[in-house]
Amino acid sequence: MNSFFKYFTDIYSGVKSLLTGMSVTGKYFFSPGQIVTEQYPENRKKLLMQERFKGEVIMPHDQNNQHRCTGCGICETNCPNGSIEVISNRIDSGDGKKVRIIDKHIYHLSMCTFCGLCIKTCPSDALAWGQQFEHAVFDRAKLTKTLNKPGSSILKGIE
């Protein structure tokens, strides 16, 4: 008698779980105001990703082509698989101090696991997540990107 009762209890539990999941699906199916499916690639021009989307690591620049990267190399040190290379030089600032400036901030997208440790540990908030997500290429060399733009400089007041 005990196994008979357990059999029907399991059936009831399974049907209840199925109906709970189908009610969520049905809610989105029958409510036309909430569109949760994007019509990609037809809407490629107006497609907006969520703010929390992790597309690729970028280095934001302002309108004067200035960035916040000091070239400290903390992002390179904290990257678990070596996706970031910071090539920097030390120059004399004029007051006797040596100032580090970056020559190249190289990002290997093909090796990145999108863990975000480089962004979290950057003391000057120089790195951020970008919204670009189409990275299909035939040549892996195209997945190696230089994050600092040509002719860019560090923002004044960042140390």
Reported as a pLDDT band with limits 50, 70 and 90, residue 40 is confident
Q: What is the DSSP letter of 26?
A: H
Helices assigned H by DSSP within the chain: 2-30, 74-78, 117-121
Q: Which of 129, 105, 108, 106 is nearest to 117 (CA)?
A: 129
Give the pLDDT of residue 29: 77
Give me the phi and psi of 87, to 5 degrees please: -105, 115
The pLDDT tens digits of the residues spanning 14-28 come to 999 999 989 888 887
Give the pLDDT of residue 30: 79
Spell out the SS3 assignment of 40-52: CCCCCCCCCCCCC
Q: Which of 107, 103, 106, 100 is nearest to 72 (CA)?
A: 100
Instruction: Calculate mean pLDDT across residues 54-82.
Output: 93
Q: How far apart are CA 127 and CA 86, in angstroms?
A: 13
Please tell me whether the overall predicted TM-score, pTM, comes out greater than 0.95 for this model. no
- Domains of the chain by residue range: 1-37, 56-154
**Tokens standing for residue 25:** 């699906």
Q: How far apart are CA 105 and CA 59, in angstroms?
A: 9
3-state secondary structure of 100: strand
Residue 32 pLDDT exceeds 80: no
Give the pLDDT of residue 93: 73
Cα Rg of the chain (Å, integer): 25
Q: What class, spelled out in words, does domain 56-154 have in CATH? A: alpha beta
Reported as a pLDDT band with limits 50, 70 and 90, residue 138 is very high
| Residues of the chain above pLDDT 70, percent | 96
Q: How far apart are CA 152 and CA 125, in angstroms?
A: 16
